[in-house]
């Protein structure tokens, strides 16, 4: 039986967190958490928390936590914060500060 955890409106670009998600997709949960713990990226810390939340949801549903693996990880774009930056000759350009929605699904092996 599968369980899931969702983190929405996370202030990191989807492109940056997809690089981290590709490393742990399909692995068992213990290996994934250990890998993310020693990864020097901001997305690794965020993704580790979402995976731990999915494991906690599985333990509440009376699923054996030792046999879990990451079935899917979806990284979708959220709404963008729009900011302006001054440029030459009195102009301004738009800066898009991107957000992410992260969905992790874990299942029993």
Domain map (residue ranges) of the chain: 3-108
pTM, to two decimals:
0.91
Beta bridge partners of 100: 10, 77
pLDDT of residue 109: 83
pLDDT of residue 62: 87
Helices (H), the chain: 14-24, 29-37, 42-60
CATH assignment of 3-108, among 3.90.470.10, 3.20.20.60, 3.40.920.10, 3.10.20.740: 3.90.470.10
What residue ranges of the chain have pLDDT lower than 70? none
Nearest alpha carbon to residue 35 among 77, 82, 70: 70
């Amino acid at each position: 039986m599968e369980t899931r955890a969702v983190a929405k409106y996370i202030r990191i670009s989807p492109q940056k967190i997809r690089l981290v998600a590709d490393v742990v997709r399909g692995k068992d949960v213990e290996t994934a958490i250990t890998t993310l713990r020693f990864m020097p990226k901001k997305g690794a810390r965020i993704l580790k928390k979402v995976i731990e939340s999915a494991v906690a949801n599985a333990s509440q549903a009376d699923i054996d936590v030792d046999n879990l693996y990451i079935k899917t990880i979806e990284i979708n774009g959220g709404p963008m914060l729009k900011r302006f930056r001054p440029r030459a000759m009195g102009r301004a350009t738009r800066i898009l500060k991107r957000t992410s929605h992260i969905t992790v699904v874990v299942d029993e092996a």
